[in-house]
Amino acid sequence: MDGASCSSSSSAAAAAAVQGARGGEVGIRVGATNIGRLRCAAAAGRQQQGKQPQNGARGSVGVTSWHLRVFAAAVGVMGCVLLAASLAMSALHQVQFRNAAISRNVRGLQELKQNIVRREQAEQIMHGRLLQMATSAVTKNGSESEDFALWEEPYKQARKWKPCAAKHSLADEEPDEINNGFILISANGGLNQQRVAVCNAVVVAALLNATLVIPRFLYSSVWKDTSQFGDIYQEDYFVNYMKNDVRIVKELPPHLQSLDLEAIGSQVTDMDISKEAEPSELVKSVLPILQQNGVVHFLGFGNRLGFDSVPVHLQRLRCRCNFHALKFVPELQRAGSLLVQRLRKVDAMQTEMDKQLFGNNMLDPAFPEDHAAGGPSRFLALHMRFEEDMVAYSLCEFGGGEEERRELQAYRETHFPALATRLRNATVSPEEQRSLGRCPLTPEESGLILSALGYDRRTFIYVAGSQIYGGAPRLRPLTRLYPNLVTKEDILTADELAPFKNFSSRLAALDFIACASADVFAVTDSGSQLSSLVSGFRIYHGRGRAPTLHPNRKRYAQVLSEEGNIAWGVFRRRVRQMVEEYKRVSPRPRGRSVYRQPRTPGCMCRAGGDGIVDF
């Protein structure tokens, strides 16, 4: 390489170094420049040595030393430039990385919040904070719940009360020979309202000394069931069991069947009789019609007989009818027995309750028809009274916003027109309704109670009731706490349910059986007829070993109103106090139904020191 080419190469290399530094390729180009300079310096030295081999030695050394100093300086400068550029690029990358991470975190939090909102909306959550604490609590329950009797009656006095209505009102005597005529009942409502009407009709027939015709059940636009008495209850058993108390026939005699009962003034509606009327009112207003026409038709007959002024012998008739005379037809007994058998181990199915419910149709425990080994030995039945009709009638709100309000108002316009009209002329506060305890409990609120009482996540829960308003999203908070939730549709096959399909009263009878047989029965609505009847059935036949959980909705609403700052321990303590107070054993309070509170003269007896005494 000659001097010109070295000079040219050096200039080109320097230019390349500058260009490379600008282009972000500092390290590579600096290396190329330095190598080029070294090569030029070596070539120049060889040329000088060739031209002046002797006299130019000192000068050659000086030139070489100068080139080395220049080279070292250039290397130092370029190294500093390289280091500065590297530090700058590193800082820039760190800032960009930090900004990107912050941006990702912000987006992640936003997406998380949006997902939580979407999930809560999908799950219809009303009490998110309490639900979160309950979710943690159910995994710990079991070891911390010894202070609450989960599966038994906490008060031993309950075992001192015994059924007494099986005794005839007048021992083995036939009804009075004098007969004032026939009582015909057309009962409205669903299965349980009709059951109450039947037993009240027995008392009215005895009171008026009349013959009762097997009651008829009215078709309801809500329940949509054409079932009649004989489709649900055993007619012959009913007639024979009550024969010493009241005459019962299956139909009117021919000469009365052709009469227009409304035209002759023999039809009595609920508008003609006070709600929970005293016996004296019925004697005064109905007996003259009966004596004149020989027949009276009670149309509707919903809660038209009171509880407090009824003589003991008539009160006993009510209890004989409800707790002894009304037996489900064999088809329902067999399906109910199978349902309960699959819910718990067969060896646990030997209670007095089972005998009353299933009679001769209880499955043989030695040869179970279908029993999964290792199944639950006990279960809790929860009557989830949160159907659309109940929700709409309550005038409460349940977190669904404007869409929910429009939907429920439309339902009221169709099914409760009188209520819808009243709402147009008056303002009802949903908040006030809730504070007064008039709102049915949601599945979420029911789950919070169970978790506060100490039931753990493994608890098997049978859910009774029709279709839950809001469907799966509304039920999901409860299943999050208690995944072992089942219904009759889960337990029985489609073929086993087929005979009862499209008959809401017969399906309700299966719920009645499961709830009555459960180790624990949990009520969510004190106004529900099924809850009322099942609670009384368990008191009467349970022998003090059939606990029922019954929250006070007014007190519970007060507790829930403080959820923003209430601790889980405080919530749990207050819920337990609320439930324990209902479990206290006492005679029927004044004004309460004997079907729900049968610890009353004529129905149940209390065991004293000398044996059984009737109060």
pLDDT in tens, 561-573: 999 999 999 999 9
Task: Determine the angle formed by the axes of helices 443-453 and 471-481, rounding to 10 degrees.
Answer: 10
Beta strands, E only, 436-480: 461-464
90, 408 in Cβ contact below 8 A? Answer: no
The rounded radius of gyration (Å) of the Cα atoms in the chain is 43
- Per the listing, tokens 């929250």 go with 551
30-48 in b/e burial notation, b at 16+ Cβ within 10 A? Answer: beebbebbeebbebbeeeb
Name every residue whose Cβ is closer than 8 Å to that of residue 142 and which is 6 or more positions away in sequence: 454, 456
d(CA 566, CA 130): 9
Two structure tokens written together for 266:
């023999």
241, 169 in Cβ contact below 8 A? Answer: no
Given a cut of 70, whether residue 579 has pLDDT beyond it is yes
CA-based nearest residue to 508, from 215, 202, 222: 222
d(CA 66, CA 356): 119
pLDDT in tens, 472-519: 999 999 999 999 999 999 999 999 999 999 999 999 999 999 999 999
First-to-last alpha carbon distance for the chain, in angstroms, is 130
Q: Which amino acid is at 57?
A: A
CA-based nearest residue to 270, from 297, 296, 305, 300: 300
- pLDDT, averaged across the chain: 83
Question: How long, in residues, is the chain?
Answer: 615
Q: In this predicted structure, what is the pLDDT of residue 154?
A: 84
Q: In this predicted structure, what is the pLDDT of residue 143?
A: 53
**DSSP assignment string, 188-215:** -SSHHHHHHHHHHHHHHHHHTT-EEE--
- Per the listing, tokens 């969510």 go with 524
Q: In this predicted structure, what is the pLDDT of residue 92?
A: 57
pLDDT in tens, 286-301: 999 999 999 999 999 9
- Per the listing, tokens 């009797």 go with 149
Given a cut of 50, whether residue 525 has pLDDT beyond it is yes
Q: How many CA atoms lie within 13 A of 332 on its CB side?
A: 24
- Whole-number percent of the chain with pLDDT over 90: 63
Two structure tokens written together for 173:
């005597």
454, 145 in Cβ contact below 8 A? Answer: yes
Exposure of 250 by Cβ count < 10 A (0-12 exposed, 13-18 middle, 19+ buried)?
exposed
Q: In this predicted structure, what is the pLDDT of residue 607?
A: 81
Name every residue whose Cβ is closer than 8 Å to that of residue 417 and which is 6 or more positions away in sequence: none
Given a cut of 90, whether residue 114 has pLDDT beyond it is no
Beta bridge partners of 213: 249
Higher pLDDT, 13 or 285: 285
Please give the DSSP secondary-structure letter assigned to residue 426. Answer: S
d(CA 26, CA 89): 12
179-193 in b/e burial notation, b at 16+ Cβ within 10 A? Answer: ebbbbbbbbbbbbbb
Q: How many CA atoms lie within 13 A of 350 on its CB side?
A: 7
Given a cut of 80, whether residue 81 has pLDDT beyond it is no
CA-to-CA dists, residue 189 to 192, 212, 218, 351, 596, angstroms: 8, 20, 8, 31, 18
CA-based nearest residue to 578, from 437, 461, 465: 437
pLDDT in tens, 294-345: 999 999 998 889 999 999 999 999 999 999 999 999 999 999 999 999 998 6
Find the helix or strand (DSSP H, E) in which 549 lies. Answer: strand 548-549
Two structure tokens written together for 303:
């809660």
Beta bridge partners of 611: 608
pLDDT in tens, 1-41: 444 444 444 444 333 433 433 344 333 333 434 434 434 44
Highest mean pLDDT among 121-125, 148-152, 464-468, 552-556 belongs to 552-556
Given a cut of 90, whether residue 46 has pLDDT beyond it is no
CA-to-CA dists, residue 492 to 359, 463, 489, angstroms: 20, 14, 6
- Whole-number percent of the chain with pLDDT over 70: 74
- Per the listing, tokens 């639900």 go with 131
Given a cut of 70, whether residue 49 has pLDDT beyond it is no
Q: In this predicted structure, what is the pLDDT of residue 13?
A: 37
Given a cut of 90, whether residue 86 has pLDDT beyond it is no
Q: In this predicted structure, what is the pLDDT of residue 121?
A: 53
CA-based nearest residue to 221, from 409, 386, 417: 417
pLDDT in tens, 416-469: 999 999 899 898 999 999 999 999 999 999 999 999 999 999 999 999 987 899
